[in-house]
Amino acid sequence: MERIERAMVFAAEAHDGQKRKGKNRPYVLHLMEAAVTVSMMTDDEDVIIAALLHDTLEDTDTTAGQILERFGERVAALVGAESEDKRDDRPRGETWRIRKEESLETLKAAPREAKLVALGDKLSNMREMARDYAKMGDGLWEIFHQKDKAQHEWYYRSMHAILAEEFPDAPAVQELGSLIEGIFD
């Protein structure tokens, strides 16, 4: 448990001051929710830690070397598999589709543990989107870099298909599918 607690502190410090898109809620709550989802499917500390740290390379100044040094090679590899190349030299809306296509291709070839981290992340995202969609309707898409609802639908349905193939009977995958249907149907 000590390693997981250290990862919680590391994630909270790395994401200090960050908020969820369009909200005043601390970003670290998303990481905790992803880790809880993962912990309901595995006792593997490396995978739970990777869920806690899954956005540190993308959204903070944390380096892969720091994750490797503090949490080991396996955690670093799992976090790396879940990280997008944000292409900070170009507007995020311009690179959104490219980044999502790359993420899907990476996930298809990724090990089961990396898919589990992705499941925790995407389920947390879809829960938040479902809550927001109930309040905002199609105005929800305005808070994102990609404002086209159809593009989000393509991405989440594609992600769900990959995860459902790996974890066909998992309640988390079934919930993800239900949330997708609720928003996009």
Residues recognised as catalytic: 58-59
- Transcribe 68-135 into DSSP letters: HHHH-HHHHHHHHHT-----TTS-HHHHHHHHHHHHHHHHHHS-HHHHHHHHHHHHHHHHHHHHHHHH
Q: How far is CA 56 from the centre of its chain?
A: 11
**Which phi and psi (to 5°) does residue 13 adopt?**
-70, -40
Dist CA 21 CA 185 (whole Å): 23
Interatomic CA distance for residues 113 and 47, integer angstroms = 6
Give the Cα separation of 41 and 116 in Å (integer): 8
Helix-helix angle 2-14:64-71, to 10 degrees: 160
